[in-house]
Copies of this chain bind each other. A is one copy, B any other.
């Protein structure tokens, strides 16, 4: 049985708590937050505390708090030589107080408080400073049905950055498409099957091989027509830049149109 104590009450803390609660082989010993208010609804299932001095003994302490609160919280912990992990994609592992054994348990997913999430599809990226800390974190990921990946700090930074591209930036492209369709009074919903298929396609095909469209074909006529339709300067700038990016990737910038696939 792996005993964990969760510190924090945000989206990641809440989703981890639900996953641990369901898991065999994991027990949540305490749930700490500075304010008890957001933990009240769980008080009959788990010991909730707001005084850090009351923290009990556990195998793993999970600091699921905002990035800029990790370091300070790690210094406040009233014990030493225990395993303490944070869950952030971008906080350096060395930012945590070295009085404890340090690790990272980073679930690479987008969390909304309300959206129900099947945790078994969430990859857990594990980083440790002391080798012996690894097996128990791997076991914890396994207990909640997640695939885990041992990575180093540079790799975690790269994943966090790449996640901004595939999540925040992709979502902004959806938003722009929403604005474009709305401007002619056509339903954005018509695009949803295409959005699903675009994501689905790269499960078996690399993004390089999955690419299609006017930019890749260097179809100047369509590109020109699209640019003439765009009335919003920002939409136009995004169209131009991503067209150029595709053409750089596929070497269509210097080729003649008839040489393209």
Enumerate chain A interface residues (CB-CB to B < 8 A): 67-68, 90, 108-110, 112, 115, 117, 121-123, 125, 149, 151, 154-155, 157-178, 180-181, 183-188, 190-208, 210-216, 221-222, 225-226, 229-230, 234, 237-239, 241-242, 244-246, 248-249
Contact = CB atoms under 8 A, between A and B. Distances in A.
A8 to B, nearest CB: 17
B193 A121 contact: yes
A87 to B, nearest CB: 15
A160 to B, nearest CB: 8
A162 B181 contact: yes
Contact of A242 (B157, B195, B226, B238): B238
Contact of A158 (B167, B170, B184, B197): B184
B123 A193 contact: yes
Given A108-B194, A183-B158, A202-B192, A165 B176 contact: yes
Contacts of A123: 190, 193
A156 to B, nearest CB: 8
A65 B123 CA distance: 43
30 contacts: A90-B225, A108-B194, A115-B204, A121-B197, A149-B186, A151-B186, A157-B184, A157-B225, A158-B181, A159-B186, A159-B191, A161-B230, A162-B178, A165-B238, A165-B239, A167-B194, A167-B195, A167-B198, A167-B213, A168-B212, A168-B214, A168-B216, A169-B239, A169-B246, A170-B170, A170-B195, A172-B215, A178-B208, A196-B200, A237-B241
A112 B239 CA distance: 23
A175 B242 contact: no
Contacts of A246: 168-169, 172
Determine how many copies of this chain the complex contains: 2
A162 B175 contact: no
Given A149-B187, A238-B245, 20 more contacts: A90-B222, A109-B194, A112-B212, A121-B193, A121-B196, A158-B180, A158-B183, A160-B226, A161-B229, A165-B176, A166-B195, A166-B198, A169-B239, A169-B246, A170-B173, A177-B207, A192-B202, A195-B202, A199-B199, A238-B241
A167 to B, nearest CB: 5
Nearest to A244: B234
A230 to B, nearest CB: 7
B212 A172 contact: no
A175 B249 contact: yes
Nearest to A92: B225
